[in-house]
Structure 1
Amino acid sequence: MRHTFLIFLLSILGNITFAQEPQQLDTIYANEKMNLALFFPANIRQGIVGANNYVFSYNRERAQPLGLLKATKGKQSNLLVVTTDGKVYSYIIKYADSLKELNRFVSFSESIGHEHQRESLVIRDTLKQDSNLIVHKQYPKAFLEKSSKAMLKQPERKKIIKRKEGMSLAIKNLVYFEDLVFMQFEIKNESGIDFDIDYLKVGMVIGNEKRRASYQSVPLKPQYVYKMPDKTRHAETSRFVYVLPKFTLGDNEKLQLSLKELKGNRELILRRRL
């Protein structure tokens, strides 16, 4: 079945047509009382705001990855940043009396593309592994979407599961493709109460969390998420796909999933070897 899925992925990549799709931009909040620090993965070459009640400052004499955003009350606008490697980042910016974050570390995956790029691409992060950097690649968004959709139709090949208080979190399928990992999840709710999802975090852990001197955790940020719900209602099952950077687990390493409830205390932590 894995061989069939890989052939399907290759056929999608070979026959895809590129079309510009509407971008879903993140919103960043700022005010006049605090500096919002934005740390980009490369030095800033140019930063532009769309309204004069916002100010984005950065070092124009000596390029640095740090930019500072401030705002006074007024209508929302937008921020456009181009870094020295040609990556383009675009955000909606709004005024807020109080800020939930004062520092934001921007990842490669937040880029909407390259300044010379005419195709709609999803850009994945680099991942440090065994002291070597895997060079980040670009994959068409349509390819990741169609591949994820195809994966949901594949027979289940894994059953790694965590159950707690009527909730269950499971890995149902996992496929490596080039430097990506397609991972299918399932959330089942038999608790009698709807489960609003705050986040599902994926990472690699080594050591014992109680012995902090030897414990390490490396987050794996998904490069694309397909069909993840905002909530799983009682008696409902949700299935969705994360596309993650390729990873391998050492002898003492485990994969860890953390599913947290929004505005609630329920949390499922699955820690297992694959």
Structure 2
Amino acid sequence: MKQLLFVFTALLYGMLTATAQQSRIMENAQLPSFPLDITWHKTAVLIFPQPIKDADRGDAYVLAETFKDANNILKVKAGKKNFEESNLQVVTSDGKVYCFTVNYKDNIPARPIDMGRAMPYAPVTFPGVSLNSKQVEDLSVKVAETYAFLRGGRFHRYGLSLETQGVYVKDDVLFFQFRVKNETHIPFEPATIRFYIRDRARTKRTASQDTEIVPLNILQSGTPESDRGTTIVAAFPRFTIAENKYFGIEIMEKQGDRNPTNRIKQKKLLKAHSL
């Protein structure tokens, strides 16, 4: 009887210990949740370091909407007063997930919230991509520091130049290296960057059909007015294009109409170097 009781006690202790260890592991794996107070007569503004890919609201009365010309900014507002606690989760193009605990409050600060100043996050995986967000970020830095090997096809208008300096591949991810240079005394401030695949053939009567491509990560360093200009590294799930299409980039100027573009044809894309 004593031996049976000892075995039962040992099993119970083992189960409790395993449960406690599993609970600690889950707590360590959980991302932090940021408190977010919203109200019905003011708009809370959240600024993210990268474009917003998706946003999920816990309840319909949590109203969330991105700005038309700035896809890294989210407007949040209450659809009714005094609602019960809810949540909001935002996924950005670099694979990071931001979690918010949302509560109603009559008066909230009018200042925007910059999520770029928040604590770093654990690497996040992308669907169908073998590299996680940390690996993509590290490789983007490596590409930004690599000397250009591609020539030709440079955009040069309005005192601005935009050129493709390199294409790289690592497993199932493509990295594109661009440089923006401003040769005028009027500063060039990018608002958004658009990537797409377009048919090369155009007719006056038929509008070209663009296929928008959302990057996994965008890295920008330097300024267009500096000697080296701004280096932009954009990472995408690996793809190829047909001979009658091209991959394009368009940079929209903030409060301006200088929108440099550049195109990469199949021949140049197939020159990608391995990382």
CA contact (8 A) 1:122 1:223 kept: no
Name the SS of the counterpart of 1:146 in structure 2: helix
Q: Distance in 1 between matches of 2:133 and 2:240?
A: 24
- Counterpart for residue 55 of structure 1: 61
Give 1:165 shift: 1.4
Q: Distance in 2 between matches of 1:90 and 1:79?
A: 7
- Counterpart for residue 253 of structure 1: 245
Change (3 A) 1:94 1:243: farther
Task: Give the letter for the 1:71 counterpart.
Answer: G
Q: Distance in 1 between matches of 2:101 and 2:203?
A: 41
Change (3 A) 1:21 1:173: farther
Identity %: 18
- Matched ranges for 1:34-113 at <5 A: 48=58, 55-56=61-62, 70-72=78-80, 79-80=87-88, 90=99
Q: Distance in 2 between matches of 1:93 and 1:265?
A: 38
TM-score by length of 1: 0.55
- Counterpart for residue 7 of structure 1: none
- Counterpart for residue 109 of structure 2: none
Q: Distance in 2 between matches of 1:23 and 1:209?
A: 49
Give 1:272 shift: 4.0
Give 1:21 shift: 11
Correspondent of 1:167 among 138, 153, 160: 160
Between Structure 1 and Structure 2, the one with more strand by share is: 1
Correspondent of 2:211 among 212, 218, 224: 218
Q: Distance in 2 between matches of 1:224 and 1:210?
A: 34
Gaps of 5+ in 1: 1-18, 33-39, 58-68, 96-117, 125-135
Task: Give the letter for the 1:164 counterpart.
Answer: R
- Matched ranges for 1:106-145 at <5 A: 120-123=123-126, 136-145=128-137
Instruction: Indicate the RMSD between aligned Cα atoms, in angstroms.
Output: 4.4
Q: Distance in 1 between matches of 2:233 and 2:39?
A: 33
CA contact (8 A) 2:216 2:234 kept: yes
Residue correspondences, number: 191
CA contact (8 A) 1:188 1:237 kept: yes
Q: Distance in 2 between matches of 1:24 and 1:236?
A: 39
CA contact (8 A) 1:202 1:258 kept: yes
- Counterpart for residue 196 of structure 1: 189
Give 1:137 shift: 2.4
Q: Distance in 2 between matches of 1:71 and 1:258?
A: 36
Change (3 A) 1:207 1:240: closer
CA contact (8 A) 2:155 2:261 kept: yes
Q: Deviations over 1:23-82 (max 9, x none)?
A: 899x9x9958xxxxxxx98xx8xx536xxxx7259xxxxxxxxxxx852479xx973359
Task: Give the letter for the 1:121 counterpart.
Answer: V
Change (3 A) 1:91 1:168: farther
CA contact (8 A) 2:217 2:236 kept: yes
Q: Deviations over 1:94-122 (max 9, x none)?
A: 99xxxxxxxxxxxxxxxxxxxxxx95214
Q: Distance in 2 between matches of 1:238 and 1:173?
A: 14
Larger CA Rg, structure 1 vs 2: 2
Q: Distance in 1 between matches of 2:197 and 2:138?
A: 27
Between Structure 1 and Structure 2, the one with more helix by share is: 2
Task: Give the letter for the 1:196 counterpart.
Answer: E
Q: Distance in 2 between matches of 1:23 and 1:210?
A: 52
Change (3 A) 1:217 1:195: same
- Counterpart for residue 256 of structure 2: 264
Pair 1:153 & 2:161 matched:
no
Q: Distance in 1 between matches of 2:229 and 2:143?
A: 17
Change (3 A) 1:196 1:81: closer
Give 1:182 shift: 0.7
Name the SS of the counterpart of 1:148 in structure 2: helix
CA contact (8 A) 1:202 1:256 kept: yes
